[in-house]
Chains A and B, each alone.
Chain A
Amino acid sequence: MTALVLRGVRPYGEDPVDLVIEAGVISEVARPGSASGRVIDADGLVALPGLVDLHTHLREPGREDAETVETGSRSAALGGFTCVHAMANTDPVADTAGVVEQVWRLGQRSGLVDVRPVGAVTTGLLGEQMAELGAMAHSQAQVRVFSDDGKCVHDAVLMRRALEYVKAFGGVIAQHAQEPRLTENAQMNEGRLSGVLGLTGWPAVAEEAIIARDVLLAEHVGSRLHVCHVSTAGSVEVIRWAKGRGIDVTAEVTPHHLLLTEDLVAGYDPIYKVNPPLRTHDDVAALRLAVADGTIDAIATDHAPHPHEDKDCEWAAAAFGMLGLETAFSIAQLALVDTGLLDWRGLADRMSVRPARIGGVESQGQGLIPGAPAHVCVVDPTARRIIDPEAVASKSRNTPYAAMELPGLVRHVVFGGVPTVRDGALA
């Protein structure tokens, strides 16, 4: 079998090499121009390990009008991802071995990325009865991440038990931190603007209080906790404190919380309606610094496709969520690399290495060294593009970046040794 050669590519933006891929692994890092085989000219482009998303809504089963595993996988591949974690809030909910295996098989069939199903913590996401976590862990899907995402596991006893229970199979609870009573009918970040707009406020404390409780629970029972989509400066402080104390907690932030602020809500366009809500400039600044210093471990998209009618309405009636897979790299570059907060190795750590480790995905995030599985994302940081919602691969169009010019283009993606994206299009 002929080797695949990424010619002249710069791993992490460093000196150019020929990255040689054979039999699904990186076989050699060679002098540029020296390797032969099926050559992809990547002269001057930056190679990163394939991106890993800890937080993706693929909507299948149940909402195939918004996204399917197939369309979501295409969207992921074009975004530079080689692995996504499919959230459990489908219909039916991914709370049994049967459903997670179905999602896993659909991912295998599409074959563009590793689709790792996330299992629900509680049956039906109702927060009442623990789902069969062990059965999901031991299914073909080998679930390691459990989350009621979209809903908070707010019952302290249930959260404690779940944190304890998953230790038996190396699982992690990924908490959607949202105190439900403090956020009844909440529509946007609570602050000066929510008061002016007359939209029910979503106080930062509703997120921070749950995170504070959960890190203490994790410490008490000696478990591992992952915090989904951290959105406030206060949450960062709590997590920083917990890590300093030696608590086994990790956290993710979405691209949109690294860029967009609540001011966008002023026009009542529900394209900006998202859970957790867009926050303030100060929050964005704190989140960027937290990614830079490692307090926040991972960038996770919270890719949330919705059909047009669920956004083409008044604010209160609209669905929460925005697309993320196809713009995540660009936003991360804009917010973290172009600002000098992270170098390419740092970005690879937050978008590939650490999320793979958190998700327990051993085949991913292994870097660009000989012997590592050949999951590679090749980007052109100098390119710029204007985001066109009609041009996305997702089945939905609800991107908040429409008409924005963003830096960074995913040019080529190799998944398990096979090119999935060539020159910015599906291979």
Chain B
Amino acid sequence: MRHLLSAADLTRDEAVLILDTASELATVTDRSVKKLPTLRGRTVVNLFFEDSTRTRISFEVAAKRLSADVINFAAKGSSVSKGESLKDTALTLEAIGADAVIIRHGASGAPHRLAHAGWIGGSVINAGDGTHEHPTQALLDAFTLRRHLTNGEGDLAGVRVTIVGDVLHSRVARSNVLLLQTLGAHTTVVAPPTLLPVGIESWPCDVSYDIDTALTDADAVMMLRVQGERMRAAFFPSANEYSRAYGLNAERLRTMRPGSIVLHPGPMNRGMEISADVADSDRSVIVEQVANGVSIRMAVLYLLLGGNTKGQGS
């Protein structure tokens, strides 16, 4: 594995290896000196064409805990807005000697281009591209699910996950559906028909328009951020109607199985897709997801950049 562009790139064994590696590396976070020498002398670039303080910081912390040199390259304005082109930026990073480029970009497929257009030689990690994918988010979600639902080991066979919200525009949903399938979980996506992509019936998941039936036998529910401005493009009539029909509130949470958990990739729209009391409830693992994100990104960097604890990876 040289790049991580899509959750679909991962086999079951590769995904489990990443989760297992993250489990080991998570112990570093619990130490007083939170640092390993593994990537000393390696250069990792955070190339962010979109604002995302959360994801950037998570990758930055992950790289630093492995002793990599981290460069934050906030490339405001891609070639779409006639700034420096992605290619020229890539050539610059190559000249600097980047071992890995973590890219967040508004255009779907931009990481794929960066990895395959012959512009750079290092590893490329997709930190979210357009409405395509966000594979490390799916990995950290799987890591979180595994901790709570399968004793932190193996895959997610038999686990039932319901994903609710703007699937059409969500890179998180795409990566999660793919990875959950790879790990043996059963996934149901729930959204108004306007927020489901054409062709959803071919995805490896069930589809429902009704959140209430989709919650009853779920082990976990993952709420997606829904941007209020979507209503202006006629995806739904109003924020209130959306919230009533698809929002997760305390009443709906009570219909879920005991021990089931609530995830959200953040940032949340409290009162829109998730009520404040649910977000702050003991069933919510949203804050833990953030911590797990660091461990997962450490694992991905570690495995991609040649840290090879178990003689696996290539």
Most buried by B among A193, A201, A316: A316
Chain A hits for B78, CB < 8 A = 314, 317
User: Are B129 and A198 touching (Cβ within 8 A)?
Assistant: yes
Cβ distance A208 to chain B, nearest Cβ, rounded Å: 15
Interface segment, B14-22, B79-87, B236-244, B265-273? B79-87
Say if the beta carbon of B124 comes within 8 Å of chain A.
no
User: Are B109 and A197 touching (Cβ within 8 A)?
Assistant: yes
Say if the beta carbon of B171 comes within 8 Å of chain A.
yes
User: Are B112 and A195 touching (Cβ within 8 A)?
Assistant: no
Which residues 108-139 of B sit at the A interface, judged by CB distance below 8 A?
108-110, 112-113, 116-117, 129-133
User: Are A192 and B107 touching (Cβ within 8 A)?
Assistant: no
User: Are B174 and A199 touching (Cβ within 8 A)?
Assistant: no
Chain B hits for A316, CB < 8 A = 80, 106-110, 130
Say if the beta carbon of B105 comes within 8 Å of chain A.
yes
- Expressed in whole angstroms, the Cα–Cα distance for A315 and B254 within the complex equals 45
- Cβ 8 A contact of B133, one of A187, A198, A203: A198
User: Are B198 and A192 touching (Cβ within 8 A)?
Assistant: yes
Number of interface residues of B (CB under 8 A): 29
- Expressed in whole angstroms, the Cα–Cα distance for A173 and B228 within the complex equals 42
- Expressed in whole angstroms, the Cα–Cα distance for A197 and B86 within the complex equals 19
- Cβ 8 A contact of B108, one of A192, A198, A313: A198
Chain B hits for A191, CB < 8 A = 198-199
Chain A hits for B86, CB < 8 A = 313-314, 317
Residue in B closest to A199 when the chains form the complex, CB atoms = B108
- Expressed in whole angstroms, the Cα–Cα distance for A190 and B197 within the complex equals 9
User: Are A314 and B199 touching (Cβ within 8 A)?
Assistant: no
User: Are B198 and A198 touching (Cβ within 8 A)?
Assistant: no
Say if the beta carbon of B231 comes within 8 Å of chain A.
no
Cβ distance A312 to chain B, nearest Cβ, rounded Å: 6
Chain A hits for B312, CB < 8 A = none
Say if the beta carbon of A282 comes within 8 Å of chain B.
no
Which residues 194-219 of B sit at the A interface, judged by CB distance below 8 A?
197-200, 202-203
Chain A hits for B87, CB < 8 A = 312-313
Cβ distance B60 to chain A, nearest Cβ, rounded Å: 24
- Expressed in whole angstroms, the Cα–Cα distance for A23 and B113 within the complex equals 55
Cβ distance A291 to chain B, nearest Cβ, rounded Å: 28
Chain A hits for B198, CB < 8 A = 190-192, 194-195, 201, 203
- Cβ 8 A contact of A193, one of B112, B171, B199: B199
- Cβ 8 A contact of B107, one of A195, A267, A317: A317
User: Are B132 and A198 touching (Cβ within 8 A)?
Assistant: yes
- Expressed in whole angstroms, the Cα–Cα distance for A196 and B78 within the complex equals 23
Bin the interface of chain A by size: 20 to 34
Residue in B closest to A312 when the chains form the complex, CB atoms = B87
Given contacts A313-B87, A316-B130, A194 and B199 within 8 Å (CB-CB): yes
Given contacts A313-B86, A316-B107, A317-B79, A267 and B112 within 8 Å (CB-CB): yes
User: Are B200 and A314 touching (Cβ within 8 A)?
Assistant: no
Residue in B closest to A187 when the chains form the complex, CB atoms = B108
- Expressed in whole angstroms, the Cα–Cα distance for A269 and B107 within the complex equals 13
- Expressed in whole angstroms, the Cα–Cα distance for A203 and B199 within the complex equals 12
Chain B hits for A155, CB < 8 A = none
- Expressed in whole angstroms, the Cα–Cα distance for A254 and B130 within the complex equals 30
- Expressed in whole angstroms, the Cα–Cα distance for A132 and B80 within the complex equals 34
User: Are A195 and B199 touching (Cβ within 8 A)?
Assistant: yes
Residue in A closest to B5 when the chains form the complex, CB atoms = A268
User: Are B113 and A192 touching (Cβ within 8 A)?
Assistant: no
Which residues 65-120 of B sit at the A interface, judged by CB distance below 8 A?
78-80, 85-87, 105-110, 112-113, 116-117
User: Are B79 and A314 touching (Cβ within 8 A)?
Assistant: yes
Cβ distance B22 to chain A, nearest Cβ, rounded Å: 25
Chain B hits for A194, CB < 8 A = 197-199
Cβ distance A362 to chain B, nearest Cβ, rounded Å: 46
- Expressed in whole angstroms, the Cα–Cα distance for A319 and B126 within the complex equals 24
- Expressed in whole angstroms, the Cα–Cα distance for A194 and B202 within the complex equals 12
- Expressed in whole angstroms, the Cα–Cα distance for A203 and B197 within the complex equals 12
Chain B hits for A312, CB < 8 A = 85, 87, 117
Ordered nearest first, which 10 A-B pairs have the shortest CB separation? A268-B109, A198-B132, A192-B199, A195-B197, A316-B107, A198-B108, A198-B131, A314-B110, A195-B199, A314-B107
Interface residues of B (CB under 8 A from A): 78-80, 85-87, 105-110, 112-113, 116-117, 129-133, 171, 174, 197-200, 202-203
**Assuming A195-B197, A198-B108, A198-B171, what are 10 further A-B pairs, CB within 8 angstroms?**
A191-B199, A199-B130, A201-B197, A313-B85, A313-B86, A314-B107, A314-B109, A314-B110, A316-B130, A317-B79
**Interchain residue pairs with CB less than 8 A apart (24):** A192-B202, A194-B198, A197-B109, A197-B132, A198-B129, A198-B171, A198-B174, A199-B108, A199-B131, A201-B197, A268-B110, A269-B113, A309-B85, A312-B85, A312-B117, A313-B113, A314-B78, A314-B109, A314-B110, A315-B109, A316-B110, A316-B130, A317-B80, A317-B85
